[in-house]
Structure 1
Amino acid sequence: MSVGTTQTRQGLGGRLAALARIVELGPGKVEPKLLTDSGQLLLRAGDRLKLSSDHTVVALAGGTGSGKSTLFNSISGLELSPTGVRRPTTARTHACVWGLEGAGPLLDWLQIQWRHRFARASALDKGESQLHGLILLDLPDHDSIRALTDTEADRLIQVADLVVWVLDPQKYADASTHRRYVTDLAGHEAVTIFVLNQADRLEAEELAECVADLDGLLRREGVENPIIVATSAITGRGVDSLKAVLAETVSKRRAAVQRLEADLDRLTLRLTKVMPDGGAPGAASSVDDARRIGLTDALCDAVGVPAVGEAMENVYGVRSIEWIGWPYARWVAKLRPDPLNSLRLSDLRDEIRGLAGDSVSAQPAEVDNAVQALSDGLTSGMHEAWQNGIRDAARSRSAQLPQVLSEELSEVAPRLDRVPVWWRLLLVWQYLLILLFLAGVAWVGTAVLYGVVGVGKLPSGLAVFGETASLPWVALMMLSVLGLGLLTAVASRNFVVLGAGNERDRLEREMRRRVAGVAEGMVIEPVERELARYNEFYAAMRSMRG
């Protein structure tokens, strides 16, 4: 095998590998008939390339009365091996082989019966060394009324390396032949020959006119450069010209590869027609950061993450009043309705968990809209089949998505019944201030009763509490205690507000991180797998085109 032929086979191998990938990725995207034809071509190519590359399978095909079998005899010279000397008929395919070595497995693959195989015993001694490696098939008539032979002709026309269409002057424009076979040969010019047989029945001018008419008909049907040879199997006219064409093909040892390449080209056109490149294949290989962030934002809104954060901040502030607020203000507030009841947050932690869960389950439409927006942004310009595939991938776990989001948010719902240590310390401090204030009230009362009203006389050890001179200082102390308590409450409130804001930010970041993780696993990863299939499919399409 020449270097050029080896390189050609390597190129063909790459195209076939690309076709195999298309067949693997195509279900659900490419119509089943086209995938079936692709699979059959892969099988046929794999079988043919494993068999003898030194032999070229040439099939003589034609209708009843075209003189196909007579032409077969004329080319072979009827000098056949002693074990199989029989005149070919149109009932079964007959084969004549120039060079038997290595031809057996190929003939077995072609399903040629042993009794219909013939060999040129000494082709090199007959001056026909140029035909060494030729396997010439005489096919059954393709328009036979016998379904068995019609099927056999169709099968071998599909697998032959080169097809010689034998036409006669009366039926060369037969509609059935052109409709069933010739129109499928566009792009197969290198592996197709048209023989206008029975030329002895025509005058020279009539023959030239028929050849020109046939050439024009073939070109109109898509055969760009048809090879037409006029022959007469009876007189031998043109047979040598046909042999020369066959010899040239056989000597190049490329017909098998050219036939497969032509079949691939035709299949590529069919695939390209139904699956044109959408947009810019390869550009959307993954979900970009902007779309990831957009999906996370939409899902956070759908499950109410901002509402959960705001509720947590508000509840945190309201609960802090019980611990760090000015006690006197709290006691006055008890005369009014409980603010916790007005906020309907009596069981705070459960309420927050319920809020998250209700937001997810109550808004599945918003979750679906978020997923839909992602897929729509990614599939712009794609073929409809791939658009549907990516949308289905994005929604593949949409039924579980709200529940999973709810569970994730429930895990990070804050413990709002938790009381920070510094709140407890501040409560102790405030009550100490209250005790000091009460002590001042007691001092003032004692001074008024014993020093002003004169209800009696205190023991010598307690006489200082009855002196009226101490009243201004005690009053000043009481006012200081009140001011210190109020100042402590205001300062603590500011710290609570700042801490609540930080806690809200932390909570929303954690919730957002969890939502992003759910979106990655349940939406983005399936979408990216489908995007990878999309890009692999079109990369294979480009490789198949060569």
Structure 2
Amino acid sequence: MTTVGTTRTRQGIGVRLAALARVVELGSGRVDPELLTGSGQLLLRAGDRLKLSSEHTVVALAGGTGSGKSTLFNAISGLELSPTGVRRPTTARTHACVWGLDGAGPLLDWLQIQWRHRFARASALDRGEGRLHGLILLDLPDHDSIRALTDTEADRLIQVADLVVWVLDPQKYADASTHRRYVTELAGHDAVTIFVLNQVDRLEPEEQAECVSDLADLLRREGVTDPVIVTASALTGAGVDELKAVLAGTVTRRRAAVQRIEADLDRLTARLTKAMPAEEAPAAPVSVDEARRIGLTDALCDAVGVPAVGEAMENVYGVRAAEWLGWPYARWAARLRPDPLSSLRLGGLKEEIRGLAGGAVSAQPAEVDNAVHALADGLATGMHEAWRNGIRDAARSHADRLPGVLSEELSEVAPRLDRVPTWWRLVRIWQYLLVLLFVAGLAWAGTALAYGVFGVGKPPAALEFFADAASLPWVGLMMFSVLGLGVLSATAARNVVAMRAETERERLEREMRRRVAAVAGELVIEPVERELARYDEFYAAMRGVQG
């Protein structure tokens, strides 16, 4: 049952660690680097520990100078393994005593315990000690050692041990270095922390009870909710069996390694949650909704001047059509007037119209940037500042390219209005034919008046037919008809041009809008949606870390 329960526990902690790995991966640039570094270290430490022996429990005896830690280590092991004495610090290197050496080697290597400081309880000595099978007991260097090397080693092993036993003496159990550097940092690790009040042989029973009560109150104030305190005297052996019983219970359950990782993970999760509270994070869509897409497209179309370009195209189309399709006499008269573009009264669009005739369209960078900002701010409402900045950065990830790409795309679709449709040429030929007919009519009428009415002389043989005065009414009717056909064809051509210009404007604006939407989707919306997906996955991972 214990093995099954331990397996399930390991599976549960594995799920949380996998979620933490996603938090580290997705939180880069969004979460405090110190937190991410701590998370990475925990993942590495937990991964290494879970791959090593689950049949062994690493218990570290930690304490300050003079606490009797090494003496207690020897008392538990039943052997004089760790040096003791009045010289301080006594323990320069970590000593390890192993109950059940089989399979413990890789774990001891990971703990970096030197071979000459590893000791195994031989079977002959283990009679009555089978309950401790699987225990790896470490005697750490004094954590307040004046030797920097041993002090660092103590810190390292306190961080990786499955269970930490703090050995305190009655005179220095409230020592600030222990509580400030370690106990407060291990708050929430109640299940994997034991406090031993050693050297109680120096105390009267009343003093012992007072010290235990005072120590318990101190630990609770520092965040240890339910402290486990054992009183002992390594010198007399009092309380050693009780401590062994506590250690045996921990070793038998085979859960200390996972409990230590869980405690470390819980503490780290609390810090992560405080920095990036998942419960306060608003739900974010994983894709930009259609309304926002349309809003961005509208704003970018305004920034690039799509409506103005459409209007300019229609006006230019009309002006150039008038130049080509108007009744020639009216066009010739119009040449005496100012530039036709001036008569359109388009103000600031005049230059755009001239540019459009060459197929050029330009985007306004400031307006493009405003449109992108508006989208990002709308999507990031209520998010943590780091994620708001992330959404903005994603939206502006191609800000330097966006105006140029928009201009290039729309310049490709903008028509070159200096091109002349074939039907315009045909209409112009027809109109000039009518002009020639009208001129011919004038010549005919002049000939008839000169020779048939005023009798200026005898007409040449070639003009006799045209000199008949009786032809004047018919010539006049022909000339009037020619003028009428000219005006009618010019009017019809203008109407056709107006309809074609409006249709072309609508087609042009649709195509320009389609291209603007495509560019916005590729350079703005896709990066934003990736960031939104990252945001969603990050907080899903945060909830997974919380369990």
TM-score, normalisation: structure 2: 0.91
State the percentage of identical aligned residues. 78
2:47 alignment counterpart = 46
Q: Which amino acid counterpart does residue 304 of structure 1 have in structure 2? A: G
How far is 1:136 from its partner? 0.8
1:57-456 map, 5 Å: 57-78=58-79, 87=83, 89-122=90-123, 126-277=127-278, 280=281, 282-339=283-340, 351-352=355-356, 356-357=360-361, 359-360=362-363, 363-455=364-456
Query: Counterparts of 1:156 and 1:245 in 2: how far apart (Å)?
Result: 21
Q: Given the superposition, is the C-alpha separation of residues 123 and 541 from structure 1 closer, same or farther in structure 2, using an over 3 Å criterion?
A: farther
2:87 alignment counterpart = none
Q: Which moved more, 1:109-118 or 1:475-484?
A: 475-484
Q: Is the 8 A contact 1:278 1:383 kept in 2?
A: no
How far is 1:338 from its partner? 4.0
DSSP-derived class of the 2:338 partner: coil
Q: Which amino acid counterpart does residue 497 of structure 1 have in structure 2? A: A
Query: Counterparts of 1:421 and 1:252 in 2: how far apart (Å)?
Result: 94
1:533 alignment counterpart = 534
TM-score, normalisation: structure 1: 0.91
DSSP-derived class of the 1:75 partner: helix
Q: Given the superposition, is the C-alpha separation of residues 334 and 346 from structure 1 closer, same or farther in structure 2, using an over 3 Å criterion?
A: farther
Query: Counterparts of 1:211 and 1:355 in 2: how far apart (Å)?
Result: 89
Q: Which amino acid counterpart does residue 308 of structure 2 have in structure 1? A: A
How far is 1:382 from its partner? 1.7
Q: Is the 8 A contact 2:357 2:418 kept in 1?
A: no
DSSP-derived class of the 2:101 partner: coil
Q: Is the 8 A contact 1:168 1:196 kept in 2?
A: yes
How far is 1:291 from its partner? 2.2
Q: Given the superposition, is the C-alpha separation of residues 447 and 540 from structure 1 closer, same or farther in structure 2, using an over 3 Å criterion?
A: same
Q: Given the superposition, is the C-alpha separation of residues 348 and 283 from structure 1 closer, same or farther in structure 2, using an over 3 Å criterion?
A: closer
How far is 1:433 from its partner? 2.5
1:424-476 CA-to-partner distances (Å, cap 9, x unmatched) read 12112222323333343344334434443344566899766555555444433
How far is 1:148 from its partner? 1.8
DSSP-derived class of the 2:194 partner: strand
Query: Counterparts of 1:353 and 1:288 in 2: how far apart (Å)?
Result: 37
Q: Which amino acid counterpart does residue 267 of structure 1 have in structure 2? A: L
Q: Given the superposition, is the C-alpha separation of residues 395 and 149 from structure 1 closer, same or farther in structure 2, using an over 3 Å criterion?
A: same
Query: Counterparts of 1:255 and 1:338 in 2: how far apart (Å)?
Result: 92
Q: Which amino acid counterpart does residue 111 of structure 2 have in structure 1? A: L
Q: Is the 8 A contact 2:312 2:352 kept in 1?
A: no
DSSP-derived class of the 2:519 partner: helix
Q: Is the 8 A contact 1:352 1:413 kept in 2?
A: yes
Query: Counterparts of 1:340 and 1:75 in 2: how far apart (Å)?
Result: 103
1:70-124 CA-to-partner distances (Å, cap 9, x unmatched) read 221221122x8xxxx5646522211111111001111111111222211111278
1:365-418 CA-to-partner distances (Å, cap 9, x unmatched) read 222212221221222222222222222222232223222222223222312121
Q: Is the 8 A contact 1:353 1:409 kept in 2?
A: no
Q: Given the superposition, is the C-alpha separation of residues 372 and 349 from structure 1 closer, same or farther in structure 2, using an over 3 Å criterion?
A: closer
Question: Is 1:517 matched up with 2:518?
Answer: yes
Query: Counterparts of 2:268 and 2:278 in 1: how far apart (Å)?
Result: 16
Q: Which amino acid counterpart does residue 303 of structure 1 have in structure 2? A: V
DSSP-derived class of the 1:291 partner: helix
How far is 1:133 from its partner? 0.4
Q: Given the superposition, is the C-alpha separation of residues 403 and 145 from structure 1 closer, same or farther in structure 2, using an over 3 Å criterion?
A: same
Q: Which moved more, 1:340-349 or 1:414-423?
A: 340-349
1:32-75 CA-to-partner distances (Å, cap 9, x unmatched) read 22222112111111111111100000111111222222221221
Query: Counterparts of 1:266 and 1:454 in 2: how far apart (Å)?
Result: 124
RMSD over equivalenced CA pairs, Å: 2.7
Q: Is the 8 A contact 2:192 2:260 kept in 1?
A: yes
How far is 1:171 from its partner? 1.6
Q: Which amino acid counterpart does residue 374 of structure 1 have in structure 2? A: L
DSSP-derived class of the 1:2 partner: helix
Query: Counterparts of 2:350 and 2:270 in 1: how far apart (Å)?
Result: 71
DSSP-derived class of the 1:445 partner: helix
Q: Which moved more, 1:182-191 or 1:474-483?
A: 474-483
Q: Is the 8 A contact 1:277 1:382 kept in 2?
A: no
Structure 1: gaps of 5 or more residues: none
How far is 1:202 from its partner? 2.4
1:450-509 CA-to-partner distances (Å, cap 9, x unmatched) read 443344566899766555555444433332332222122112111101111111222222
Q: Given the superposition, is the C-alpha separation of residues 342 and 322 from structure 1 closer, same or farther in structure 2, using an over 3 Å criterion?
A: same
DSSP-derived class of the 1:194 partner: strand
Q: Which amino acid counterpart does residue 68 of structure 1 have in structure 2? A: K
Kindly tell me the number of residue pairs found equivalent between the two proteins. Answer: 538
Q: Is the 8 A contact 2:365 2:403 kept in 1?
A: yes
DSSP-derived class of the 1:65 partner: coil
